[in-house]
Structure 1
Amino acid sequence: MSGRDLERGAAKGPRGGGYNQAAAYYAGGGRGDSESQWTSWLVPVIVVANVAVFIAAMYVNNCPRNNLGFEGGCVAGFLGRFSFQPLKENPLFGPSSSTLLKMGGLKWDNVVNGNQGWRLITCMWLHAGVIHLLANMLSLVFIGIRLEQQFGFVKVGAIYLISGFGGSVLSSLFIQNNISVGASGAVFGLLGAMLSELLTNWTIYTNKAAALFTLLFIVAINLAVGILPHVDNFAHIGGFLTGFLLGFILLIRPQFGWVERRAKSKHMGYQYVLLLIALVLLIAGFVVGLIMLFRGENANDHCSWCHYLSCVPTSRWKCTN
């Protein structure tokens, strides 16, 4: 993408698998119960919606008519108005910056000074290109379907949407000169919810240590990839933290205790404590974040080193805000 854009790129896990290995290991080998599963339909609908929005963005983009003169012609010209911008402008096979902004991409100035707060939500349905879209949707399928089968569409849908919103808020606080798009904040939220669900429902899992290590390793790899330039790691971090807190609130399960020599399903005291702490932190985080955002504050002024969380300069690239 051009220097003005930030993709909320899906990061990669071991051997390029991204979030997938964590989802497969965690969901398949954990619990010792045999409860029935929900039918997953929401996650496929979200995938279809994202693909439809991308097709609509390419229709609006209309590269043959609106190419601004970047070196090279439209890519895949046989697609007509659905052809991609020149690779020097967008190497991810997608639309232009102006199209992404027109369709609802996240930009600080439009949100704060243009009173367009709706961009905090619309940006999570846009993608910078085919590569970006495929990476996020594959990750969503591997993580989201399993979670929806276990917890139902209401809880998973809430985590997805609220996490995406949380990622947008944190991104806007730290990145104020670029356009940011992508669903990976929401996908990272599901990954965060997987981690907190494992912790709050600890006693009903087998292979606890292995599952926890696997999840932490995948989280670390995904966030580490986010320090590359032109990847909005603040959206990843914001989505992950939001989903992590929501997992303690929405994904709590009854545990098993012994009452008069009989196993009885019940919630444990520590689960309620974690739920209360997570709820307070979540509300406080959104209140503080939104107040700072709409007052036009730059979070980098309060944290001089935080910009390294999204990009670390090296001899091969430089970081700009």
Structure 2
Amino acid sequence: MASRDLEKNRDGNYNNYSNYPPQSSSSIYHLHSSERQWTSWLVPVIVVANIAMFVIVMFINNCPKNHFGFDTCVARFLGRFSFQPLRENPLLGPSSNTLMNLGALKWEKLVQHHQGWRLITCIWLHAGVIHLLVNMLSLVFIGIRLEQQFGFVRIGILYLISGVGGSVLSALFLQKSISVGASGALFGLLGAMLSELLTNWTIYANKAAALFTLLVMIAINLAVGILPHVDNFAHIGGFISGFLLGFVLLIRPRFGWLERHQLPEHARVKSKYTPFQIIFFFVAAVALIAGFTIGLVMLFQGKNGNDHCKWCHYLSCVPTSKWECGN
């Protein structure tokens, strides 16, 4: 994962390297170890909560009793935790009705039945074991490092708001299907990694390599979203929300600020943040508030996003000779 170039010092801590006058390199090496490293506990808790929720969903689903009978369920040795037939759910999970009853995202429920809470509850549901496994591995891979660098408060806010942002965009454009999963929140973390790299540009080494790696990773993940049955609008909404939030929540002091009192007068940094960091902060904050306001107003007024963007459906599924883009 593209992030800071880190190297251990003698105390076992990690130091950030950047281009700096050679005569100051030894002191910079030591002073950067003073940056606080948080212990990651929120991300593991989120992973456990998602797994526990999936177990509860499968318990309630109870395929042998409530659906097709024991002989048609997958992994019958699991009893009431066995999965729906593969023709209904190839991801090894519950029925769509069970997911709907427990809080899946559905435009009709949001708008006509005023169940706005589904924008949040759908983030904690998964369509199957495969879906859950992919998302949780991604969360551990991305989220733990971010929480170690920025703490549980900022990463928790980022995760939740990005998830809601993905839910809003999904509900605006996919109005005849249901949606579940933490993918929007995960793409929010990816978006935040990109904005964090840009807004804290001065403290990075190998900037171009880090930026290229991260952009390739984002592009591949978004490209997967054009396959059928994948809610790419949740990915895009989460990514945009996280990208804007990163400028607001993940801003760091410019390189040299923490060491200013131990450096010669001529080498001291005069201001804590660069002008670009300040500009990014305010522009992103305004764009984020405006985007959520417009999206939520359109959603609860019953608007269909496809009416305002005729080609946007291709962002979630591109039909080919191998598959169609049905609901």
| TM-score under structure 2 length normalisation | 0.88
Local SS of the residue matching 2:268 = strand
Residue matched to 1:37:
37
In 1, the alpha carbon distance for the partners of 2:4 and 2:127 equals 30
Gaps of 5+ in 1: 1-22
Contact preservation (8 Å) 1:27, 1:146? no
Offset from partner CA, 1:45-70 (integer Å, 9 cap, x none): 00000000000000000000012479
Contact preservation (8 Å) 2:63, 2:69? no
| TM-score under structure 1 length normalisation | 0.89
Offset from partner CA, 1:264-312 (integer Å, 9 cap, x none): 3711111010000000000000000000000000000000000000000
Residue matched to 1:83:
82
Residue matched to 2:293:
287
Residue matched to 1:263:
268
Structure 2 counterpart of 1:314, one-letter code: T
Local SS of the residue matching 2:179 = strand
Residue matched to 2:188:
189
Offset from partner CA, 1:180-211 (integer Å, 9 cap, x none): 00001000000000000000000100000000
In 2, the alpha carbon distance for the partners of 1:292 and 1:131 equals 33
In 1, the alpha carbon distance for the partners of 2:132 and 2:37 equals 28
Contact preservation (8 Å) 1:29, 1:207? no
Structure 2 counterpart of 1:58, one-letter code: M
Local SS of the residue matching 1:255 = coil
- Which deviates the most, 209-218 or 253-262? 253-262
Residue matched to 1:61:
61
Residue matched to 1:110:
109
Q: Spell out structure 1 runs of 4+ moving beyond 6 A.
A: none
Q: Which of 267, 279, 296 pairs up with 2:302?
A: 296
RMSD: 1.6
Structure 2 counterpart of 1:173, one-letter code: L
Contact preservation (8 Å) 2:142, 2:190? yes
Contact preservation (8 Å) 2:104, 2:180? yes
In 2, the alpha carbon distance for the partners of 1:142 and 1:66 equals 37
In 1, the alpha carbon distance for the partners of 2:189 and 2:228 equals 24
Residue matched to 1:5:
none
Residue matched to 1:134:
133
Q: Which has the higher contact order (CA 8 A, sep 6+)?
A: 1
Residue matched to 1:202:
201
Structure 1 counterpart of 2:49, one-letter code: A
Contact preservation (8 Å) 1:256, 1:263? no
Structure 2 counterpart of 1:43, one-letter code: V
- Equivalent positions of 1:117-196 (< 5 A) are 117-196=116-195
- Equivalent positions of 1:7-26 (< 5 A) are 23=1, 25-26=2-3
Structure 2 counterpart of 1:262, one-letter code: A
Structure 1 or 2, whichever has the larger Rg, is 2
Structure 1 counterpart of 2:316, one-letter code: S
Structure 2 counterpart of 1:151, one-letter code: F
In 2, the alpha carbon distance for the partners of 1:152 and 1:122 equals 24
Number of aligned positions between the proteins: 297
In 2, the alpha carbon distance for the partners of 1:91 and 1:69 equals 18
Structure 2 counterpart of 1:302, one-letter code: H
Contact preservation (8 Å) 1:166, 1:238? yes
In 1, the alpha carbon distance for the partners of 2:274 and 2:285 equals 17
- Which deviates the most, 264-273 or 283-292? 264-273
Contact preservation (8 Å) 2:5, 2:206? no
In 1, the alpha carbon distance for the partners of 2:268 and 2:40 equals 31
Q: Percent identity?
A: 71
Structure 2 counterpart of 1:283, one-letter code: I
In 1, the alpha carbon distance for the partners of 2:301 and 2:155 equals 31
In 2, the alpha carbon distance for the partners of 1:27 and 1:190 equals 15
Shift of 1:242: 0.2
